[in-house]
Amino acid sequence: MKTDRRPLVLISPALLWLFGLMVVPCLLILVVAFFRRGVYGGIEYTWTLENIALVFDPLYFGIFMKSAAIAGLAAGIACVLGYAAAYAIASMPRRHQPMLLFFAVLPFWSNYLVRSYAWIVLLNREGLIANLARWIGFDGELPKMLYTEPAVVIGLIYNYLPFVILSCYAPLSRLNPEIAEASRDLGASAWTTFRRITLPRTVVGIATGFVFVFVLSIGNFVTPALLGGGQFQMIGNLVYAQFLTANDWPFGAALSMVLIIIMLGLLLLQAVITERASGGKAYTDG
Amino acid sequence: MERHTLMADRNTYRLMLLIIGIVFAFLYIPISVLVALSFNEGGLPTAWTGFSVKWYGALWQNDEILQAARNTLFVAIFSTILSTILGSLLAVGVEIRRRNGKWLETIIFAPMIIPDIVLAIALLSFFSLLGVKMGLHTIIVSHVVFNLAFVCAVVRARLKNFDWAIVEASADLGASTITTLIRVILPVLMPAVLAGALLAFTLSVDEFIIAFFTAGAGRSSITLPMQIYAMIRFGVTPEINALATLVMAVSVVALALSQRLNRGGLPGQ
């Protein structure tokens, strides 16, 4: 019997920690979302659906849609770039691939704020791009680059691209070259081979990459604040404001709840897709 | 001839090289510019006036930055110690059990996959509702949440091909659970535990969002990433370039070291 109880002693401290500081706080959000806001901030303990209804008020729902659009755009571009890079890396000689992959992921290891800051250095009015433009003889008024929507999209792509490269490289590197060879021997063009053979077998990597970039972008708080300036809000910034400046915790909780449902729903969907795909291992061959 | 994963003729090969070149340029030019400017004597992107480390020196004169650095170190050290202990024990526990319920696997995996902002918001509302006064201690306990999951993952990976027979042998010879843990399991796991600790330390030093949400009001509990965030909102200065370069170097070196520590199989295999 001793052997059965021993693991519990080892596991329970960590589990209690996770339970008390992750599970309970997350459930708390679900509860608070249904309470009323107190007169002086804080919470009044009467049930209401007002907060949830307010999330779908055009004003706030618009922010949701806007965040989703920006996140979708960033995820889409990151997937195109990331897939191209992963494909290119996978088509290099085998012995060079680990090193190329390592350097593709290395920037991901550096601080997120620093990576965003790097774009402030490039894009600001006195920044490198502005200076380069002047240097090559452009002396008109440069369009504003920093604190715009495209700056936010670029920042998101820059921060999460290594992740997409990784997720796309995995299925590409497992691809059996003989199938593509056979396709070409049978007279298919390179493009047809790619579209009919390679892409369907590796699309799972794109799906994974897309979901992760989308989820991380839609709830992003730092990049819109830094590269978007105070110009526009994404949901993350709105939530932050409810808790720390507007002092409307129930509404903040309701916003978070909807955000969490979107995020976890997508992650779950992605898990299902991956599981389906790994069920069909015969296609990719090891 | 060596076999490529994806067959490529000469022109396609060139195209692939071009793609790699473009993507790597996109990934590396921004941070390289930042690093280069941090060594620029004049400190401005307008002209290169010579190599200098004076902006790094300026960091040492800045009390706010030094205070933030001390706070960061304090948070990182304590959250690393706690999460290394909890995470390693957890790893050994779940691997001994072998058959674990799905809910257990999910709850262990969750902190790595839950977006930071979700955990940050949840913890902020949790601490606010309980009336906990927030400060460095709340950052520490919050960092332990995700850190212990990462330590656990690193240690578990090493336990995958661990020979449990030696644990049984140790128990048969009359060693207590604690003795077995310290004298038999720990020595074998040490590289993974150290790698996990180093990873936890780095994650904690770099972490911004959760710290930002759980630090409470006031300057006293500002960490380095929070300090950087506050500084870069007001624009570009040569000091930030230097600070950013330093932070980047520290995390890349620490993570590379962590990977290196954990490379190779178990001793004797």
Q: Is residue A8 part of a domain?
A: no
Q: Best interface-test mutation with A: which of B3, B16, B121, B143 has the largest number of A CBs within 10 A?
A: B121
Reported as a pLDDT band with limits 50, 70 and 90, residue B91 is very high
Q: What is the CATH number of the domain that holds B110?
A: 1.10.3720.10
Q: What is the pLDDT of residue A179?
A: 81
- Chain A interface mutation, best of B118, B144, B145, B185, highest count of A Cβ atoms under 10 Å: B118
Enumerate the residues of chain B whose CB falls inside 8 A of the CB of residue A89: 20
Domain with A155, as residue range(s), is 51-283
Low-confidence residues of chain A: pLDDT under 50:
1-3, 280-286
Residue A55 covered by a domain? yes
pLDDT, mean of residues B94-121? 84
Token output for A9: 């002693």
Q: How distant is the alpha carbon of residue B175 from its chain centre?
A: 36
In terms of CA atoms, which chain B residue is nearest residue A117?
B232
Give the mean model confidence (pLDDT) for residues B158-186.
84
Instruction: Identify whether A19 is part of a domain.
Output: no
Q: At what angle do helices B116-130 and A249-279 cross, to 10 degrees?
A: 140
Residue B7's pLDDT band, with cuts at 50, 70 and 90, is: low
Is some CB atom of chain A closer than 8 A to the CB atom of B97? yes
Chain B (227-256) residues lying within 8 Å, Cβ to Cβ, of chain A? 228-229, 232-233, 235-236, 240-241, 244, 247-248, 251-252, 255
**Cα distance between the two ends of chain A:** 42
The answer to whether the CB of A18 falls within 8 A of the CB of B101 is no
Both tokens assigned to A93: 């000689």
B10 has pLDDT over 70: yes
Number of residues that make up chain B: 269
Residue A79: predicted pLDDT: 97
Instruction: Decide if A11 is inside a domain.
Output: no
Q: Domain range spanning residue B137? A: 63-261
Q: How far is CA A184 from CA A67, A84, A87, in A?
A: 43, 21, 18
Report how many domains make up chain B.
1
Q: Which residues of A touch B232 (CB under 8 A)?
A: 113, 116-117, 120, 226
- Report the distance separating Cα A56 and Cα A79, nearest Å: 30
Q: What is the pLDDT of residue A279?
A: 60
pLDDT of residue B265: 43
Closest to B208 (Cβ–Cβ): which among A43, A90, A222?
A222
Question: What's the CATH code of the domain at A209?
Answer: 1.10.3720.10
What average pLDDT score do residues B107-127 get? 88
The interface residues of chain A toward chain B in range 55-84, judged by CB-CB distance below 8 A, are 81, 84
From chain A, the residues in CB contact with B20 under 8 A are 85, 88-89, 92, 100
Q: What is the pLDDT of residue B181?
A: 83
Question: In the prediction, which pLDDT does A281 show?
Answer: 46
Nearest CB to B5: which of A107, A173, A225? A173
Total count of domains within chain A: 1
Binding-face residues of B in 150-209 toward A, CB within 8 A: 152, 177, 206, 208-209
Going from the C-alpha of B200 to that of each of A23, B75, B90, the distances in angstroms are 21, 11, 15
- Could you tell me if residue B118 is inside a domain? yes
Residue B69 covered by a domain:
yes
B236 within some domain: yes
CB-CB neighbors (< 8 A) of B141 in chain A: 21
> Which ipTM was obtained for this model?
0.88
d(CA A248, CA A215): 25
Chain B: closest CA distance from residue A94 (Å):
6
Residue A65 inside a domain? The answer is yes
| Residues A62 and A56: beta-carbon distance below 8 Å | no
The pair phi, psi for residue A45, each rounded to 5°, is -85, 60
Residue B79 predicted with pLDDT over 80: yes
pLDDT at B6: 58
Distance between CA atoms of B61 and B44, rounded to whole angstroms?
20
Residue A237 in domain: yes
| Residue A1 confidence (pLDDT) | 38
> Per-residue b/e over A196-233, b at no fewer than 16 CB within 10 Å?
ebbeebbebbbbbbbbbbbbbbbbbbbbbbbbbeeebb
**What's the pLDDT score for residue B31?**
93
Residues of B in Cβ contact (< 8 Å) with A26: 114, 118-119, 122
Q: Are A67 and A218 in contact (CB under 8 A)?
A: yes
List the 168-207 stretch of A: residues with Cβ below 8 A of B.
172-173, 175, 177, 180-181, 184, 190, 198
Task: Mark yes or no for CB contact B145/A18 under 8 Å.
Answer: yes
A182 contacts: CB under 8 Å, gap ≥ 6: none
Answer yes or no: is pLDDT of B102 > 60. yes
Q: What's chain B's average pLDDT?
A: 87
Question: Regarding predicted confidence, which is higher, A140 or B166?
Answer: B166
